[in-house]
Amino acid sequence: MPGLKHEKQCLPPVAGVDEAGRGPLAGPVVACALVLPDRGVPRGIDDSKKLSATERARLCARLTDCAALGIGIVEPAEIDTLNIYWATMKAMTLAVDRLAEVLGRVPGHVLVDGNRLPRWGYAATAIVSGDAHSRSIAAASIVAKHTRDQIMIAAAEAHPHYGWHANKGYGSAQHLAALREHGPTPLHRRSFAPVAQCVLPL
């Protein structure tokens, strides 16, 4: 389980940052920046990929109640303009900016999942597999993942052919088959090859 080793080495308040949605063919990329409270942290926080959807939903609700957090969302059209790397960097920046508004001050330090940092003015450290090593990053990963999943489940009601309620926009067999038959929606990332191929005339 991720601990607080990295947090204890940093100037507080320490924010964990993670994102969800780099790989899907449709939907936004969502980032969360989160500062855990000193007390009342829910048990079971772990890398979001290791948790069931039910556990993520439970923990996200608890974290929303007890933690200070900010969410950053970059929509598909901007992903196509920036590319997914820079869109992810922007989502993380937006998330930390919004967290700073909630806190009323900038975080003392920001721990970011991955090996790269956005171009920002925050004191920060990138941690490879951070969601496995930092509890703050793991908590942020849960909120980011659950938030994005709920966006895609809601979008599935308007676009039922693509199976987003199950695949969350990733390139599953059902999703790819629906793309070939129905073409892309406004939520598809047209710069991603499987989508771009469906835009071209047959």
Annotated binding site for a divalent metal cation, which residues? 18-19, 113
Q: In what order do the strands lie in the sheet with 124-127?
A: 68-74, 29-35, 14-20, 109-113, 124-127
Is residue 75 helix, strand or coil?
coil
Q: Are strands 29-35 and 68-74 parallel, antiparallel or unpaired?
A: antiparallel
Q: How far apart are CA 47 and CA 16, in angstroms?
A: 12
CA distance 120 to 97: 10
Token pair 């676009």: residue: 159
CA distance linking residue 86 with residue 52, whole number of Å: 29
Which residues are documented as binding site?
18-19, 113
Token readout for 121 is 């003015």
C-alpha to C-alpha distance for 180 and 53, rounded to whole angstroms: 29
* Residue among 41, 13, 34 at smallest CA distance from 143: 34
